[in-house]
């Protein structure tokens, strides 16, 4: 199973260089052909980037219909542990939280961020 990093969703929303590749993977999750998770924290981050409430509403409505997607909510204790681990392994907080959640749950990170390649968890691109 997979943990989807924010950059995969943002790749599609902003039609960046690899958006079609990312969209193909996300479509598989939407149909339930692939099982994946996303952090609630990640959705908040994307929502902050989108800014406009109507865009955030569309995102939440869309994502909540995806058959293969689960949402991971982290506790303050988990976020503290993730921050400490991130400092130790040289990641920023966002990546550290992704790392912590993936490691704890045995998930592979789906991301375009090569910073994960210097850790002991697996990262693949969509």
* pLDDT beneath 50: ranges in the chain: none
Task: Give the pLDDT confidence score for residue 10 in this predicted structure.
Answer: 97
Task: Give the pLDDT confidence score for residue 49 in this predicted structure.
Answer: 96
- For the domain covering 2-113, report its CATH number: 3.40.50.1010
Task: Give the pLDDT confidence score for residue 38 in this predicted structure.
Answer: 99
For residue 33, the number of C-alpha atoms closer than 13 Å in the C-beta half-sphere is 7
Q: Are 60 and 43 in contact (CB under 8 A)?
A: yes
pTM: 0.94
């Amino acid at each position: 199973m997979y943990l989807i990093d924010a950059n995969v969703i943002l790749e599609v929303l902003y039609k960046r260089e690899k958006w079609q590749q990312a969209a193909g993977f996300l479509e598989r999750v939407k149909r339930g052909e692939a099982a994946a998770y996303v952090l609630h924290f990640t959705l908040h981050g994307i929502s902050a980037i989108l800014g406009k409430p109507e865009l955030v509403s569309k995102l939440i409505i869309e994502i909540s219909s995806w058959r293969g997607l689960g949402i991971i909510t982290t506790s303050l204790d988990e976020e503290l542990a993730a921050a400490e681990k991130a400092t130790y392994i040289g990641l920023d907080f966002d990546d550290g939280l992704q790392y912590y959640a993936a490691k704890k749950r045995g998930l592979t990170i789906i991301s375009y961020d090569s910073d994960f390649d210097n850790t002991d968890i697996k990262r693949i691109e969509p």
